[in-house]
Amino acid sequence: MITIKDLSVKYGDQDKSVPVLDHINIEIGKGEIYTFIGPSGCGKSTFLYVLSGILRDYEGLVLVDGRPVDPKRQRIGLILQNYGLLPWKNVRQNIILGVKIKGQPREEEYFTYILKQLGIEQLLDRYPKELSGGQQQRVAIARAFLLKPDILLMDEPFSALDAINREEMQALFLKIWQEHNVTTVFITHSVDEALYLGSKIIVFSDAPGKILGVYDNPCFQLDNLRCRDEYYNMSMQLRKILDKG
């Protein structure tokens, strides 16, 4: 689904360039969630901006379904840490913004279904400033799924929420994802979140970011995850890798 070969990114002028990502190589399978974890400043968000088509100045090869990244041709859902809602548009307008930009017809039945799944059908006339953080996050997720994206990119979307709301949003997102199996790249700095949400876990080194390892996640979709030995063992393994990296 997503092929990345020798991806390197530098910021700044040639004479004073700072390497951010260093020769990233990975294949991301169709219909899976890959969680990427690493220390602050290791280039995780930069990696996401390359996949979204926002950042085009890089070396290497990045393909989606065998084609170069092109947001005009591919449906790419992007959910940012600050939710990316426009303050002058109400909830309804924010949700349909993606399909409107793409020129896609809005499927009313699917629109209603997504609203009900996320529990925001009563909020359509409100503006972002009138919503809680959790409600804003639900609006951002609704906008992304309404687009029926080929790939979904998520940049620490739950990090601003308190612990209870964060776990609720993780569970809700996973429930919706299970119904649609969108290929998802999820950036996080939380080992717990990486274990809960990722079918595979990719660990980045300190800057400039390199891939230290790609791991199958034995914890993915297990019931009572945080009470299991698999969770504890994998958590310890990831923390050791991060400490060394």
Q: What is the pLDDT of residues 98-140, one digit of tens each?
A: 888 888 877 889 999 999 989 999 999 999 999 998 899 899 9
Between 17 and 26, the more confident residue is 26
Q: Which of 13-17, 18-22, 35-39, 96-100 has the lowest mean pLDDT?
A: 13-17
Longest dimension (CA), the chain: 55
Binned at pLDDT 50, 70 and 90, residue 180 comes out as confident
- Burial string for 69-106 (b: 16+ CB within 10 Å, else e) reads beeeebbbbbbbeebbbeeeebbbebbbbbbeeeeeee
Q: Which of 96-110, 190-204, 210-224 has the lowest mean pLDDT?
A: 96-110
Sign of the four-CA dihedral 55, 21, 155, 153: positive
User: Domain spans of the chain?
Assistant: 1-74+150-235, 85-149
CATH 3.30.230.70 fits 1-74+150-235, yes or no: no
- What's the token pair of residue 137? 């996050």
Instruction: Report pLDDT for 1.
Output: 86
Give SS3 for 92: helix
Instruction: Report pLDDT for 245.
Output: 63
Residue 121 Rama label (left phi>0; alpha psi -120 to 50; beta):
alpha
**Does residue 14 carry a pLDDT above 80?**
no
State the pairing for strand pair 18-28/151-155.
Answer: unpaired
